[in-house]
Amino acid sequence: MSASLPYLIASVCFILALQGLSSPTHARRGNLVGAAGMLIAVVGTLLYAQILTFLWIGIGLMIGAAIGAAMSIWIPMTKMPERIALSHCFGGLAAALVGVSEYHHRLGQGTLDQFTMGALGLEVFLGFLTFTGSLMAFGKLQGIISGAPLTYKGQNATNITMFFAALVLLVLLVLDPSRSFLFYLMGALGLAVGVLAVLPIGGADMPVVISLLNSYAGMASAATGFALGNYVLIIAGALDGTSGFLLSMKMSKAMNRSFANVLFGAFGAQPDTSAGGAGGPAANYNLATVEDAVGVLTAAQTVIVVPGYGMAVSQAQHAVRELAQSLEARGATVKYAIHPVAGRMPGHMNVLLAEANVPYDQLYDLDDINDEFARTDVALVVGANDVVNPAAKTNPGSPIYGMPVFNVDQCHAVIVLKRSVATGFAGIENDLFVQPNTMMVLGDAKKTLREFIAGVKEEAA
């Protein structure tokens, strides 16, 4: 208990760190305070807790610090969702392993009471679930596993059954903690549930899934805190758990879908029969050349850029900023409209544009900019699809009906950068693309944008 004071200080530091994130001007300092809190907690543990061997701890700390630093310094910003998925994966694994170790130790000592057993059970189940679930999410993001939702008959029934089986195991274990077979079965069940629960979830639902896994990782940490009687773990876990939960609520809301729908809906698996005859051939698209688009752009006084996952894939954020600057140099106003679920994780687009030196006061949320489209000359859609689909407002049969989308269709002119005219995710037709005032410029977004920049500069010369 003598490490209590460092733990209290650390808890306060963590809360201050989160508070700092309420504004970009204080955020860095807050993060530093959080890191200091962590250092205090670790040093306090090493000094006061009953630690007898420092050799392996030292080696582990060094290996972990080296890997962690390498993963943070050299990873490209476009890979941030993968990076975050991996860190949930490590967090889950660490919690689960501590749980197994503690169970083994306490069982051997005969100090395993029912309360600790309950906490350990939850810790190991959630930890292993987060571990495999995050690995699956990482695989899907990286393209190792198909990003498409994988579904099979009776999938939901299987997942729900496994979940309840875990609950039953937990109760049995609390009643008699010495049944170690059940304990390990529960861990195995956690591993399986993690895989099976993420399997049916499609790429565009990743923001919700990543947030949810964030929440589970936090809950696993909190359960560790209960098992060890360590309050800083409970507090940090509660903060992490709440944060992930809040984010996943916000993401679900931004897609107009309930939690249950995301988890069990397997979005992309629904056959797309509802597009209302819009499934016409590519001939309906108004394909435009770079010259046409440059003409429209240079004539515009106001431009709103709508980035989507395609911008991340093509790493086009720097080209976007350059084009915006050359338009601003001609006297145009450029703003960016960021949808909460654009990209593969919450805030994905903001980070990429910040990396490209786009000032953050030019980035606008859905509610802050949506009324402006009707008054705007040109909307430039860079690799976004669902978030600009007017069917979400007009077609009750569309799978995304009810989702809040940008009013891009109300702009005077729309330029859409897209790799091909093939239907995107889930095969949902996008009525925006066949509107008469929409110009489709096909090809790699970065390459197209570079051609735009050259065109705009030529115009100026």
Residue numbers 356-395 binding other proteins by CB under 8 A: 356-363, 365
Q: What is the C-alpha separation between 183 and 312, in angstroms, rounded?
A: 42
Least distance to other proteins, CB of residue 261, Å: 21
Query: E strands of 96-203, at which residues?
Result: none
Could you say which of 68, 143, 280, 397 contacts other proteins (CB under 8 A)? 68
- Residue from 91, 121, 90 nearest 103 by CA: 121
Q: What is the C-alpha separation between 245 and 407, in angstroms, rounded?
A: 29
173 is a site residue for other proteins (CB under 8 A): no
For 345, the token pair is 């994780």
Least distance to other proteins, CB of residue 155, Å: 28
For residue 96, how many other CB atoms are within 10 A of its CB? 24
Q: Distance between the two ends of the chain, CA-based, in angstroms?
A: 73
CA distances from 2 to 40, 50, 202, 324 (A): 13, 10, 48, 57
- Total of chain residues touching other proteins, rule CB under 8 A: 120
83 is a site residue for other proteins (CB under 8 A): yes
- Taking a C-beta distance cutoff of 8 angstroms, is the pair 319, 450 a contact? yes
**Which helix (H) or strand (E) covers residue 261, if one does?**
helix 259-265
Residues 198-237 that bind other proteins (CB under 8 A): 210-211, 214, 217-218, 220-222, 224-226, 228-237
Residues 7-26 that bind other proteins (CB under 8 A): 7, 10, 14-15, 17-19, 21-24
Q: Which stretch binds other proteins (CB under 8 A): 90-98, 148-156, 270-278, 402-410?
A: 90-98
100 is a site residue for other proteins (CB under 8 A): yes
Give every strand in the sheet of 333-338, ordered side by side: 363-365, 333-338, 302-307, 378-382, 413-418, 438-442
Q: Which stretch binds other proteins (CB under 8 A): 97-105, 179-187, 269-277, 426-434?
A: 97-105
Decide whether 41 or 136 has the Cβ nearer to other proteins. Answer: 41
178 is a site residue for other proteins (CB under 8 A): no
Half-sphere exposure of 23 (CA within 13 A, CB side): 2
48 is a site residue for other proteins (CB under 8 A): no
Residues sharing a CB contact under 8 Å with residue 67, sequence separation 6 or more, in sequence order: none
Least distance to other proteins, CB of residue 161, Å: 29
Residues 297-316 that bind other proteins (CB under 8 A): 315
∠ CA(259), CA(261), CA(265), 5° rounding? Answer: 140
Q: Which stretch binds other proteins (CB under 8 A): 143-151, 349-357, 404-412, 430-438?
A: 349-357
Least distance to other proteins, CB of residue 192, Å: 20
144 is a site residue for other proteins (CB under 8 A): no
- Per-residue 3-state assignment (H helix, E strand, C coil) for 314-365: CCCHHHHHHHHHHHHHCCCEEEEEECCCCCCCCCHHHHHHHHCCCCHHHEEE
Least distance to other proteins, CB of residue 356, Å: 8
Residues 249-288 that bind other proteins (CB under 8 A): 250
In the annotation, is 386 catalytic?
A: yes
- Residue from 200, 194, 203 nearest 95 by CA: 194
Q: Could you give the maximum distance between any two Cα atoms of the chain, in Å?
A: 83
- Residue from 268, 255, 309 nearest 149 by CA: 268
Q: What is the C-alpha separation between 224 and 230, in angstroms, rounded?
A: 8
Question: Phi and psi (nearest 5°) for 415?
Answer: -115, 125
Could you say which of 4, 5, 47, 63 contacts other proteins (CB under 8 A)? 63
Least distance to other proteins, CB of residue 443, Å: 18
Could you say which of 147, 187, 194, 244 contacts other proteins (CB under 8 A)? 244
Q: Which stretch binds other proteins (CB under 8 A): 144-152, 279-287, 342-350, 429-437?
A: 342-350
Least distance to other proteins, CB of residue 30, Å: 8
Q: Which stretch binds other proteins (CB under 8 A): 101-109, 171-179, 256-264, 403-411?
A: 101-109
246 is a site residue for other proteins (CB under 8 A): yes
Half-sphere exposure of 20 (CA within 13 A, CB side): 17
Least distance to other proteins, CB of residue 320, Å: 11
Catalytic residue among 292, 361, 377, 386: 386
Q: Which stretch binds other proteins (CB under 8 A): 148-156, 269-277, 319-327, 412-420?
A: 319-327
Decide whether 217 or 263 has the Cβ nearer to other proteins. Answer: 217
Could you say which of 4, 5, 47, 113 contacts other proteins (CB under 8 A)? 113
| Catalytic annotation, residues | 386
